Amino acid sequence: MGSGVAWRLRRCGFDVVITEVEHPMAVRRWVSFSEAIYEGSMTVEGITAHRVVLSDSERIDGICQSGDIPILVCPDPSGIAVLRPEIVVDAILAKRNTGTRRGMAGLVIGLGPGFVAGEDVDCVIETNRGPNLGRCIWTGSAEPNTGIPGVLGGESIKRVLRAPTAGLIHSTRDLGDLVRAGESVASVNGVEVRAQIDGIVRGMLRDKTPVDQGVKIGDIDPRGDIELCRRISDKALAIAGGVLEAVVKYSDRR
């Protein structure tokens, strides 16, 4: 979701800098700028993120001027102050506030539940699928987390792969692979994870990533179209549209 927001803002001409943790856990790696933390750079639908260090302000400025996105490891929210941002978007989606607060920038936006607009952030963007998806909330909170994945190709819960136990993940199928229900696609600490439906592997955590039991580790797309695996989702774009609305409204008030 954060990559979708960054992509849309960059496409609209805003300079965007992404901060990340040292070991990102993106499932949909083909459309996640966070892969640049591991690979040095990552291109998503025509826009490239380049890994930089916080102290290299000249390179950060140069990447922004080129139309791309700098991404850097900065797990502590207090480090964001060095960048002196005009706007901060918390796209962690932790379902709780992990340290973001009003005053970090002129406009502070939080995605999904865990934030209260008017208290710890200025604006909350609804992330729950339905008629309110992507709406800006200027007073109050987003809808509570349902824990139920959205429907994709007629499937919801069965399309999501979760860790059967805690340990290191070992993927046996790659992104883009076609799989059948019942086939082994990964293992965690030696315990197999099998696909529950036919489809294409749309998402999978990086090999040897440590996970807790029950954590989402992958995603099977029943539509079976590999090109859809390389495109930002409709949900991410809707949320990004809400962020863009809030940013434009804030800019118009200045």
Nearest to 51 by CA among 70, 27, 33: 70
Phi, psi (deg, nearest 5) at residue 109? -120, 135
Same domain, 51 and 127: yes
Q: 254 pLDDT exceeds 70? A: no
Within a domain: 227: no
Phi, psi (deg, nearest 5) at residue 43? -105, 130
Same domain, 27 and 118: yes
The pLDDT of 142-152, averaged and rounded, is: 86
Q: What is the CATH number of the domain that holds 186?
A: 2.40.50.100
Q: Return the pLDDT at 65.
A: 96
Nearest to 25 by CA among 114, 103, 115, 93: 93
Q: 78 pLDDT exceeds 80? A: no
CA dist 181 and 169 (Å) reads: 20
Nearest to 123 by CA among 135, 231, 63: 135
Same domain, 125 and 32: yes
Within a domain: 139: yes
Neighbours of 86 (CB within 10 A): 14
Neighbours of 191 (CB within 10 A): 13
Same domain, 115 and 241: yes
Same domain, 249 and 206: no
| Residue 252 host element (H or E) | helix 234-253
User: b vs e for 123-145, b when ≥16 Cβ sit within 10 Å of the residue's Cβ?
Assistant: bbbbbbbeeebbbbbeeebbeee
What pLDDT digit, counting tens, does each position of 204-217 carry?
A: 999 999 999 999 99
Within a domain: 126: yes
Same domain, 115 and 169: no
Q: Return the pLDDT at 220.
A: 97
Within a domain: 152: no
Q: Tokens 């863009």 label which residue?
A: 244
| Residue 238 host element (H or E) | helix 234-253
Which residue range is the domain that position 43 belongs to? 2-146+233-253
> Which DSSP letter does residue 126 get?
-
| Residue 47 host element (H or E) | strand 47-51
Same domain, 102 and 36: yes
Same domain, 210 and 125: no
The pLDDT of 178-203, averaged and rounded, is: 97
Q: Return the pLDDT at 151.
A: 85
Tally the domains of the chain. Answer: 2
What pLDDT digit, counting tens, does each position of 43-52 carry?
A: 999 999 999 9
What pLDDT digit, counting tens, does each position of 101-126 carry?
A: 999 999 999 999 999 999 999 999 99
Q: Return the pLDDT at 116.
A: 96
Within a domain: 164: yes
| Residue 72 host element (H or E) | strand 69-73
> What sign does the CA torsion over 167, 173, 177, 178 have?
negative
Same domain, 121 and 196: no
CA dist 145 and 66 (Å) reads: 38
Q: Measured between alpha carbons, how far is residue 44 from residues 4, 41, 166, 184 in Å?
A: 9, 10, 31, 28
What pLDDT digit, counting tens, does each position of 156-174 carry?
A: 999 999 999 999 999 999 9
